[in-house]
Amino acid sequence: MLFKRILVTGGSGQVGTAIQALAPPAVSIHAPPSAQLDVRDGRSVAAAFADFRPDAVINAAAYTKVDQAEDEFEAAFAVNAEGARHVAKACAANGCPLLHLSTDYVFDGAKRGPYMESDPTAPINAYGRSKLAGEQAVAEVLDAHLVLRVAWVFSATGANFVKTMLNLAGRDELRVVNDQRGAPTAARSIAAALWRILEGLSSTPRFGLYHFASEPPTTWHDFAAVIFAGLAERKGEGALPKLVPISTADYPTRAARPQNSLLDGARLHRHYGIGPADWRGELRKVLAVLAA
Amino acid in the structure at residue 253: T
Question: 127 an active-site residue?
Answer: yes
Please state whether the peptide bond connecting residue 216 to the residue before it is cis, i.e. omega within 30 degrees of 0.
yes
User: How many of the other CB atoms lie within 10 Å of CB of 122?
Assistant: 15
CA neighbor of 48 nearest in space, from 5, 90, 107, 103: 90
What is the C-alpha to C-alpha distance for residues 250 and 117, in angstroms, rounded to an integer?
31
Catalytic residue, from 127, 210, 251, 272: name it: 127
Amino acid in the structure at residue 43: R
What is the C-alpha to C-alpha distance for residues 129 and 149, in angstroms, rounded to an integer?
14
First to last CA, the chain: 42
Amino acid in the structure at residue 2: L
Q: Is 269 helix (H, G, I), strand (E, B) or coil?
A: helix
What residues act catalytically?
Answer: 127
